[in-house]
Structure formats: structure tokens, C-alpha cells
Amino acid sequence: MPKACKVLFESSILNGMKLIGEASMNAHTHANNVLHFAIHAEDVERARAFYEQVFDWRFEAWGPPDFYRILTGSPENPGIAGALQKRHVELVNKGTTGFTCTVSVLDIEHTSALVEKHGGLISFSGEIPTVGRLISFEDTEGNILGAMQYEAEALQQIAQGV
């Protein structure tokens, strides 16, 4: 691994993740889990308020202006690392332009109410048998994401990598 990549890799801000040396970069031993996400926003402060109020995420100013590190979990269960940043290119069309992330929630009805209360727009609500209840929605910045109240067995299978 080139030294610059190794330094960047080792100084990663992946919240709570313990990476096991260079072996974790080997395609045969690396799980390729999603470890980071980024939310792009026209109005960073409005988006920050939305995610704080809907999911209780915490934000730390980090790096350039209009850039925050997102802390989605607790010290015991750190969750996935994220970033909130100023959108670099104007969102012209309303299509999905990247990965769609789904946030695990305890109460989908409560989350739905919070999404609507804080300016989000729910575009789909339904159930996936044996998995859980799901909503798809737009945040205040036009980003599309999901929230799912998983069934206990589905969460267990996810944790086991089944």
C-alpha cells in the first residue's frame, strides 16, 4: 500500500471501527461493509437541525466551513460514521443521485411523525414481510433515504451476516 494511502487509511475517522492492519484491505478478508455516508445539503444548518430532531444524531464541526462529522450512535454502539456537507453541485432533477441509506429505528410511526413535523416528505410507507416496516422520504434538502423498524429476527440475521 502506498505510504500516503496508508497514512490516510490509518488516520480514518471511522467512528468506533478497529481495522486490523493492511490485511483488512485484502479482498478475501475484507467484508466491504458500508462504513461512511455523506449527506449533501443546500442549507447545511437546516439539514443539521432536521437530523438532530428526527434521529438524535450529533454533529461536530470538522474540516472546511459547512462541513460536519455526524455521530449516529453511542460510545457503546457507535453506529456508522457520516458527514454533512454543503452541496457542491445544484440539485436540478429530483432523481436519486447516489446510494440510498436506511436508518434503523425503534418506532416507525414516531419517526414518520418526526420526519413530517420537521419538514420531510414521506413518499412511501410499507412493510417487507419478515424484515420490518419501512418509510422512504425526502429530507429538507431533497435527499432520499429510508427508515426501517426491523423485526428482531431480521436484526439478528443482519448482525450475523446472514
Per-residue pLDDT of 96-147, as tens digits, reads 566 678 899 999 999 999 999 999 999 999 998 888 999 999 999 988 899 9
pLDDT (tens digit, 9 = 90+) per residue, 49-107?
A: 999 999 999 999 988 899 999 999 888 888 888 999 988 777 777 655 666 788 999 99
Q: Among residues of the chain, what percentage have pLDDT more than 70?
A: 73
Burial group, residue 3, by CB count within 10 angstroms (0-12, 13-18, 19+): exposed
How high is the pLDDT of residue 140?
96
Go through the domains of the chain in sequence order and give each one's CATH number: 34-160 (3.10.180.10)
